[in-house]
Amino acid sequence: MILEEKYTLSNGVEIPKLGLGTWFINDQDVVQAVKEAAQIGYRHIDTAQAYQNERGVGEGIRNCGVSREDMFVTNKLAAEIKSYKEAVDSIDESLQTMGLEYIDMMIIHSPKPWREFHKEESYTDGNREAWRALEEAYKAGKVRAIGLSNFEKEDIDNILESCIVKPMVNQILAHITNTPEALIQYAQDKGILVEAYSPIGHGELLKNQELAKVAEKYNVSIPQLGIRYDLQLGLLPLPKTANPAHMKTNADVDFVISESDMNFLKNMKQIEDYGEASMFPVYGGKLE
């Protein structure tokens, strides 16, 4: 069963192979969502400072009936934080807000502030400063693992050239019709686990008739097919839902996609529009 399976990060820390994403789940509702997920068997919850639900996630973790050491919590340093002092203060603030003694993994949410996401400035110094703060938090035991999100090859190289502790993950947009194979391979070659957010293309894959046919062949839903696809690429999918029924089906992925079908899915035409999510930078939009 996938909820019991784990990857091992480069520092030896184990991380559950499937996580629950909490983007767009508000601070009140996320408490119950975390509790429901824990009861179903989820042991990995993913949040971010930008989601504005850290307090609720922390409350859910503390009151879910599962011992703290058996739960894995990922948080993300806000994309706008590109100085050492801001990062140090922000990590401590997250610990306080969540009411946790430690966070299992803290990652830099983006190499650039969201409003600058499509601009040329690379923030090399700012990312190194934020990384130094994460390294110190890691050495102090405030976090058990550290990593990146939305980092391209050159952004990863910038950290690798100056770091003392290497990044353990890179969390990226990766789903059927959008599989950045070169970036995935590069990270994996460097011993960096790739996590896949929006494994169902922020819901847009549900409209794809070709996908529906492949899912039907395996007697599964499109979300199940998308999650299994990421797992077979060695990725860690983070489907987002507050619905317990969806949490259950998202975790029911003990089937195998054939090699020929994997190739077909890898080469499907990329979806052009992410619907309402298209306004967000990671889906191609520009925040003005």
DSSP states of 258-278: -HHHHHHHHTSPPPS--GGGG
Kindly report which listed range (27-31, 66-70, 112-116, 248-252) carries the lowest average pLDDT score. 112-116
Question: CA 110 from chain center: how many Å?
Answer: 12
Contacts of 224 (CB under 8 A, 6+ apart): 215, 218, 249, 250, 252, 253, 255
Q: What is the CA radius of gyration of the chain?
A: 18
Full residue range of the structural domain in which residue 46 is found? 2-283
Closest CA to 148 of 156, 160, 137: 156
Q: What is the pLDDT of residues 50-63, one digit of tens each?
A: 999 999 999 999 99
In a domain? residue 99: yes
Closest CA to 50 of 102, 4, 110, 7: 110
The residue count of the chain comes to 288
In a domain? residue 149: yes
The pLDDT value given to residue 284:
73
In a domain? residue 106: yes
| CA distances, 75 to each of 63, 166, 218, 277 (Å) | 18, 18, 34, 21
Q: Which pLDDT band, with edges at 50, 70 and 90, does 287 fall under?
A: very low
Rounding to the nearest 10 degrees, give the CA dihedral for residues 58, 56, 75, 195: 110
DSSP states of 155-200: HHHHHHTT-SS---EEEEE-BTTB--HHHHHHHHHTTPEEEEE-TT
**Number of domains observed in the structure of the chain:** 1
Q: Which pLDDT band, with edges at 50, 70 and 90, does 280 fall under?
A: confident
pLDDT > 90? residue 274 = no
In a domain? residue 189: yes
Q: What is the mean pLDDT of the chain?
A: 95
Q: Which residue's entry shows tokens 């395996």?
A: 218
How far apart are the C-alpha atoms of 117 and 280, rounded to whole Å? 10
How far apart are the C-alpha atoms of 218 and 285, rounded to whole Å? 34
Closest CA to 201 of 273, 265, 128: 273
The pLDDT value given to residue 286:
52
Predicted TM-score of the model (pTM):
0.95
The pLDDT value given to residue 288:
41
How far apart are the C-alpha atoms of 288 and 285, rounded to whole Å? 9
* 3-state SS track over 107-151: EECCCCCHHHCCCCCCCHHHHHHHHHHHHHHHHCCCEEEEEEECC
Question: What percent of the chain clears pLDDT 70, i.e. is strictly above it?
Answer: 99
How far apart are the C-alpha atoms of 188 and 47, rounded to whole Å? 23
CB atoms within 10 A of CB 92: 13
Contact 201, 275 (CB under 8 A): no
In a domain? residue 215: yes
138 is catalytic: no
Contact 272, 263 (CB under 8 A): no
Q: Higher-confidence residue: 119 or 8?
A: 8
In a domain? residue 136: yes
Domain holding 66: CATH number? Answer: 3.20.20.100
Q: What is the β-pairing status of strands 14-16 and 6-8?
A: antiparallel
- Point out the catalytic residue in the list 42, 51, 123, 138: 51
In a domain? residue 288: no
Q: What is the pLDDT of residues 94-145, one digit of tens each?
A: 999 999 999 999 999 999 998 888 888 889 999 999 999 999 999 999 999 9
The pLDDT value given to residue 73:
98
In a domain? residue 210: yes
pLDDT > 90? residue 156 = yes
Q: What is the pLDDT of residues 65-82, one digit of tens each?
A: 999 999 999 999 999 999
Q: What is the pLDDT of residues 231-245, one digit of tens each?
A: 999 999 999 999 999
